[in-house]
Structure 1
Amino acid sequence: MSDLLNKWKIFQELSDELKRNIRLAVVFDGGAIYVTKDDQVFGFGRNEFGFLGTGDKQSRTEHTKIEQLCGQNIQDLEFSSETFFAISATGSVNAWGRNDNGQLGLGTKKDTWIPIKIERNLGTKRVVQVACSDDHTLVLTSDREVFSFGRNNFGQLGLGHKDDQTVPIKLDFPATGGVVTAIACLCYSSIALLDSGELFAWGKNEAGILGQSADVKEQNIPRKVPGLEGITIKRIVCGYSHALALTNDGKVYSWGWNGSGQLGNGTKQRSHEPTLIIGNFGRIRDVAAHYNYTISAAVTEADEVFAWGRFNGMPNLIPKKTSFTSLDEVFAKIPNYCAVTFRPLRLKLDDELIEEKNAANESPEWLKKHFDDVESADVVFVVEGKKIHAHKAILIMRCAVFKTMFLGNWKESNESEQIIEHRSYDVFFAFLKYFYTNQVDLQPDLALELFDLAHFYQMTDLQKECLIIIKRGVTVENAASIYDRAILLAAKELKEFVFKFCMDHLTAVVNTEGFKLLKDDVAKDFFIRAVQQGAFKND
């Protein structure tokens, strides 16, 4: 059983049998919500702010089922002090809590203490991330659109005005050639990370959180955070009014409010520009910050955990090494009811904690550098007339098909140049790059082609990576074609996932051009299954 789950006081009294059945859990203000392996959702503990989604603010000693979330395959739970969100595997979002500024996105300013699905403007979208403050919310969809709603008195919605919004409204970002990959909310402002590694911020320049000089009071549209030119950011996290940005080479920049030393720069002075934290700890692979408590933390590639800010009852102005084994444990040991999960605890079937994917999963730098290296390569793949250079030894070690090809009695065995037909260059490039990096960097539409390629080469680990990307990219417009492709590839998991998505958006999916292009036998089978699921019953 995961030792980390037991680090949280609220879980310590649970039976071992129950803890083995938990796959997802969050903790807030002395209360907890957990999702079981059979997709049931329960809450228990303190409930002063309506966190448990039980329709009231009464604390629960008994574990109470949250009926509205059961059976939805909840994959993520996000919250601030008084607003709460649950994301299902199909990308629908349920919201509950305080709503006096429309921050739940439900079209009203009426509070609700039971989860209600957000429909307006997101009904046909697949949401992959929610970020929230107490008063405003951002959502990121699978097609990399950002929507905002809630309070907007400082332009924190990024819409170019200061009017509150009770339903999700799409933001416009400056044309940079990049797309948004992550979002974050602070008290009165917002930040977005692009795949180019650039950061954009908007809202109130509280303590310099926009990275702008003190002369800039606020901005109501996304603008690039200055001071990071030539630096590629891979992760952004925010506290109440400070930000931490992790670079692709394992360094951390901080800026904003610094009353307890949470910037890690050796002072208590706020910073209006990103500045490197102080310390010599090698490459950092992940960072974390508390949304309402002035603590920051980081874990290195050597699995050493550092913390700074309000820690051990006093301000710490520079990162200090701790005895903790993970970032989650840092937050479990914050005193009293300030102990909260900074991200959901995700547990595998064997009850080992699933770490967020980070640099620790990457291949060593020396191996990455040799991908597509003309000088050292001993095999060349020609795709769409373009060459990709690789090494037979690497391919043989990682793929049984390549092992048979290069070591067997195939005509390709002794050929240094391999012609690849019926595949796109971008996808085959990503395929070969995976052998050297263990990472996949493709948009969902291309990930489906890569899944097909991984299926052909019997790369089950790569197929799993592709499935994650594809699931995030399912939309009303492409659901039918992905469903059809899943059938052709005998990809049962993907087929079932997309079918459930179609059931949740049935009318919209059936009316797409993609659905009309399905073969008659596939469409017939789909409708039979839909009928069996009760899709056309009259209530």
Structure 2
Amino acid sequence: MVSASSETFNPASSDRPPAPAPPVRAQVFSAARPHSERDMVDVTKWPLFSLMGPQELCLIRKACVFGTSANEAIYVTTDDEVFVFGLNCSNCLGTGDSQSTIVPKKLDFLSGRKVVSLSYGSGPHILLATEDGELFAWGHNGYSQLGNGTTNQGVAPVLVSANLLNKKVTEVACGSHHSMALTDAGEVYAWGYNNCGQVGSGSTANQPTPRRVSSCLQSKVAVSIVCGQTSSLAVVDNGEVYGWGYNGNGQLGLGNNGNQLTPCRLAALQGVCVQQIVSGYAHSLALTDEGLLYAWGSNTYGQLGTGNKSNQLSPVQIMTEKERIVEIAACHSTHTSAAKTQSGQVYMWGQCRSQSVLLPLLTHFACTDDVFACFATPTVMWRLLSMEHDDFLTVAQSLKKEFDNPETADLKFCVDGKYIYVHKAILKIRCEHFRSMFQSHWNEDMKEVIEIDQFSYPVYRSFLEFLYTDNVELPPEDAIGLLDLATSYCENRLKRLCQHIIKRGITVENAFSLLSAAVRYDAEDLEEFCFRFCIHHLTEVTQTAAFWQIDGNLLKDFISRASRCGAFKN
């Protein structure tokens, strides 16, 4: 048989099953769990993707980073092309050779096929399901985890057809060296390494091709599957959870630590309806339809979130004092856990950058994916990252999109000979200056173009864009003009934003000009900031042209004030 990679993640020995197989490098990813619109996904938070240019990045629709050291990646573009790059351990890139590549290579065999689910194992091996229900596999195959009846490595994607003909696969899951597939009929199939019963066949003999997991699942309709290191879990349509395989750390949640060769229902979850289930390295999390969170299994790093490091053989409820949970996250390559609440708060616990976080810790992240990008070791993805969004836009997104759009605008400003297209209603809602301007007599005039000559085009355009977006992006020199406008129009928030921009861009060369502007526009906080900067760099500032070209009265006031501060003492 082909041996597993020598690059293996080594967690605490108490989390390992008594088996010769290397530790897990597996996790389930399913398109059935889409990102919400507010998740603000940024694939460049994973180092591999930071090497790509903006034009390539904007074409990525789905992505997965995997491997022992997060050294491999696969992504799908907007036109359903599949690309891979990275170390290529055990031919896991599927390029037909064993060469590493830092330049993304296209997998022509998968061109045009819409990816709906993807998972990876510890060799690693890859499973990929398409929208048409086809299942492809490649990579490590030392235990027949590719399902082709052999133990030869798969150097390129191959269709898995044995016992799956006329079956439509909707979801896939990889354990350390075993595999599972879920069909649209709710059937669960498993194959590969079976030393602890993780294939669910009733024995510990390896399974070379897909075999339906029956026993007490025979008459059940499964809706979700997940693989542990050498264990398996499934959720059925009534919310019950079934587990089988290795149970040395209680990761099956059965109340004991004995292995199970066939599926067994988690009796401790009776009475609740589970909607989502995930597995970490040796622990499991379940989320109910009421937003309740349960955890069980290994707790070496506090990954159960119970406040201690004691293993739990049965599910225990955590985060009971928090608001409703809407998403949970865990990854077989790490001991990290995460959850997202209804209001969008993201918590993390377990092993976070080598620290043990025993209780859920509130983060500043917008999505659970960021927890694994920034705090997990290795920095793999816990699911297939999706950049897909539906056509719905929030009010803020819609306003931003319509700024300076001549097709929908009913008014335009002319500044420095250039037009800026806006909407009267939005200006009236957002700015008191325009609300006063657009009185009833304005409509009678039917004036559609307003000439502006007291401000520059960049300044006025930035002001109007601020009314649509609440943001300002200007260099400090232009921000002075915008500060003047904000003062004239009594826009205090815009005034504060301008001051922040100016503070951030102050230099020896422009410090005295900025000080002069702060005085002129009655920006006391900015004036004090600029004055202190000038004092700290007095010799250099007094040698600039701006210092000697300034108004005489301001210069006198500055010298007098600087003198009182002791700036001219030897």
CA distance in 1, matches of 2:83, 2:268: 45
CA displacement at 1:21 relative to structure 2 = 1.4
Question: What is the alpha-carbon distance in structure 2 between the residues aligned to residue 262 and residue 352 of structure 1?
Answer: 36
1:170 paired with 2:212, answer yes
1:343 to 383, 386, 398: 383
Q: 1:204-223 alignment to 2 at 5 Å?
A: 204-214=246-256, 217-223=258-264
Cα RMSD of the aligned pairs, angstroms, is: 2.2
Give the match's secondary structure for 1:63: strand
Structure-2 residue corresponding to 1:18: 56
Q: Does 1:238 align with 2:279?
A: yes
Please state how far the C-alpha of 1:248 moved relative to its aligned partner: 1.0
What residue is the counterpart of 2:125 in the other structure? 83
Q: 1:135 aligns with which of 173, 177, 194?
A: 177
Equivalent residues, number: 351
Distance verdict in 2 for CA 1:136–1:40, change over 3 Å: same
> What residue is the counterpart of 2:224 in the other structure?
182
Aligned with 2:167 (options 120, 125, 128)? 125
Q: Which position in structure 2 is the counterpart of 1:43?
A: 84
CA distance, structure 2, for counterparts of residue 309 and residue 225 of structure 1? 23
Q: Distance in 1 between matches of 2:210 and 2:335?
A: 30
Q: Which residue matches 1:267?
A: 308
CA distance in 2, matches of 1:2, 1:251: 25
> Does residue 285 in structure 1 map to residue 326 in structure 2?
yes
1:225-374 superposed matches below 5 A: 225-278=266-319, 280-334=321-375, 338-348=378-388
Q: 2:75 matched to which residue of 1?
A: 34
| CA distance in structure 2 between the partners assigned to 1:32 and 1:350 by the alignment | 25
Match of 2:404 in 1: none
- Counterpart CA distance in 2 for 1:88 and 1:352 is 25
Indicate conservation of the 8 Å contact 1:178/1:196, yes or no: no
Contact between 2:286 and 2:294, CA under 8 Å: does it hold in 1? yes
Aligned equivalents of 1:189 and 1:33: distance in 2?
25
- The equivalent residue for 2:522 is none
Q: CA 1:168–1:176 in structure 2 vs 1: closer, same or farther (change >3 Å)?
A: closer
2-structure distance, mates of 1:282, 1:172: 38
Shift of 1:48: 2.9
Displaced runs of 4+ in structure 1, greater than 3 A? 175-178, 349-353
In structure 1, how many angstroms separate the alpha carbons of the residues matched to 2:113 and 2:289? 35
Q: Offset of 1:75 from its aligned partner?
A: 2.7
Return 5+ residue gaps in structure 1 as ranges.
354-539
Matched with 1:110 is 152
Shift of 1:144: 0.7
User: What do residues 393-414 of structure 1 show as CA deviations (whole Å, max 9, x unaligned)?
Assistant: xxxxxxxxxxxxxxxxxxxxxx
Pick the aligned partner of 1:62 from 103, 123, 132.
Answer: 103
Q: CA deviation digits over 1:132-174, x for unaligned, max 9?
A: 1121111100011111101112211111222211110011142
Per the alignment, in what secondary structure is the counterpart of residue 249 of structure 2?
helix
Preserved contact between residue 138 and residue 146 of structure 1 (Cα < 8 Å): yes
Pick closer, same or farther for the CA change 1:267–1:49 going to 2, 3 Å. Answer: farther
Distance change >3 Å, CA 349–CA 231, structure 1 → 2? closer
Amino acid at match of 1:134: S
What stretches of structure 2 of length at least 5 have no aligned partner? 1-38, 394-570
- Structure 2 match to 1:191: 233
Say if 1:78 and 1:85, in contact at 8 Å, map to a contact too: yes
C-alpha distance in 1 between matches for 2:267 and 2:336: 24
Q: Is the Cα–Cα contact under 8 Å of residues 80 and 291 in structure 1 kept in the other structure?
A: no
Deviation of 1:282 after TM superposition, in Å, equals 0.5
Superimposed CA distance per residue, residues 427-486 of structure 1 (whole angstroms, 9 cap, x where no aligned partner):
xxxxxxxxxxxxxxxxxxxxxxxxxxxxxxxxxxxxxxxxxxxxxxxxxxxxxxxxxxxx
1:189, 1:59 → 2: CA distance? Answer: 31
1:100 Cα deviation after fit: 1.3
Alpha-carbon contact 1:54-1:113 (below 8 Å) kept: yes
Change (3 A) 1:268 1:112: same
CA contact (8 A) 1:188 1:206 kept: no
Distance 2:266 2:44 in 1: 40
Post-superposition CA distance 1:201-258 (Å, at most 9, x none): 11121211122344x5212111111211211111110112110000111111111111
Residue-by-residue CA offset, 1:62-103 (whole Å, 9 max, x unaligned): 111112222222233211221111111101111011111111
Using the aligned pairs only, state the percent identity.
37
Question: Could you say what secondary structure the match of 1:332 adopts?
Answer: helix
Shift of 1:56: 3.3
Q: TM-score w.r.t. structure 2 length?
A: 0.59
The amino acid of 1:304's aligned partner reads Q
1:351 and 1:166 map into 2 onto residues whose CA distance is 44
**2:268 alignment partner, SS class:** coil
Secondary structure at the aligned position of 2:181 is classed as strand
Aligned equivalents of 2:323 and 2:254: distance in 1? 29
Match of 1:460 in 2: none
Deviations 1:174-203 (A, max 9, x none): 279741100111112111101111111111
Distance 2:264 2:376 in 1: 37
**How many angstroms does 1:278 deviate by?**
4.2
Structure 1 240/271 Cα, relative in aligned 2: closer, same or farther at 3 Å? same
d(CA) in 2 for partners of 1:94, 1:177? 27
Could you tell me the TM-score, scaled by structure 1's length?
Answer: 0.62
Rounded Cα–Cα distance in structure 2 between residues aligned with 1:256 and 1:335: 19
Which residue pairs with 2:186 in the alignment? 144
State the distance in 1 between where 2:141 and 2:53 align. Answer: 36
1:351/1:268 Cα in 2 relative to 1: closer, same or farther (>3 Å)?
farther
How far apart, CA to CA, are the structure 1 residues paired with 2:300 and 2:76?
37
Q: CA deviation at 1:264?
A: 0.7
Q: Is 1:24–1:75's contact at 8 Å kept on the other side of the alignment?
A: no
Find the residue that maps to 1:11 and give its secondary structure. helix
Distance, in Å, in 2 between the alignment partners of 1:342 and 1:60 is: 23
Distance in 2 between residues matched to 1:2 and 1:253, nearest whole Å: 27
How far apart are the structure 2 equivalents of 1:245 and 1:335? 20
Q: What do the CA deviations read for 1:320-371 (whole angstroms, capped 9, x no partner)?
A: 00111101111111366x1111111222378999xxxxxxxxxxxxxxxxxx
Query: Cα distance 1:235–1:2, how it changes in 2: closer, same or farther (>3 A)?
Result: closer
CA contact (8 A) 2:40 2:366 kept: no
SS, match of residue 372 in structure 2? helix
- Name which one, 1 or 2, has greater alpha-carbon Rg: 2
